Amino acid sequence: MRIETCYFCSQPCYPSKGITFVRNDAKVFRFCRSKCHKNFKMKRNPRKLAWTKSFRRAHGKEMTVDSTLQFAQRRNVPVRYNRELVATTLQAMQRVGEIRARREKQFYKNRMKGNRAKQLEADRKLVEENQHLLPPQYRDQVEKVLEAEPEAEKEEMEEMEEDEEELDPEELEQEAKVAAKKQKAAKGAGKKKQKLVRGQGAEDEDGMDVDG
């Protein structure tokens, strides 16, 4: 089963789903839904629409350079069927998926790292500028809170940094390489060298008959 990629938003197009458009020069365009097809006919640029993958990659919202993204490009290489190879490949796919999810989580944490501090600073500034709008009985309380807030913010940010689990990129890279090596080893193990013996059929190099 071949899963195509949407030409406009880069989402997966499953068999019997979506829209296929063939241009006069025989180039094939696949779309996951009518929304992408309509935007393509209106000649809109997918890099300028916030809901497409190309926009998110261009604006640094998703990973663009990572070793786990290269495994999806190797799936269309024809390989002779081997049960051990299929089992090993499925395990490697699961492991690569886990590593990729961890890296995306860490990438999201790094991208959102300073947002909380910026939001707290904006809220504090808003309260300082609009104290006259508060009821009189709360103004003294707000002043005390604003004086004690910077120290509390520093302590809170330090605790958050300690709680966050920072992943080592070298360790993740090593795990991905180990999964790739296992997959290659399984491919090599599936190919057994055989020799023909006259009158006895195919025989392994170790001397054991294959045909019995």
Per-residue three-class SS string for 19-61? EEEECCCCCEEEECCHHHHHHHHCCCCHHHCCCCHHHHHHCCC
Q: Which pLDDT does position 118 carry in this prediction?
A: 87
CATH architecture of 1-62: Roll (2.30)
Q: What residue segments make up the domains of the chain, in order of their start? A: 1-62, 64-73+81-112, 125-168
Tens of pLDDT, residues 95-123: 888 988 898 898 888 888 888 888 888 88
Question: Can you spell out the DSSP letters for 136-202?
Answer: HHHHHHHHHHHHHHHHHHHHHHHHHHHHS-PPPHHHHHHHHHHHHHHHHHHHHHH---EEEETTTEE
pTM: 0.51
**Mean pLDDT throughout 77-103?**
87
Q: What is the distance between the alpha carbons of residues 209 and 107, in angstroms, rounded to a whole number?
A: 54
Q: What is the distance between the alpha carbons of residues 17 and 4, in angstroms, rounded to a whole number?
A: 10
pLDDT band at 39; cut points 50, 70, 90: very high
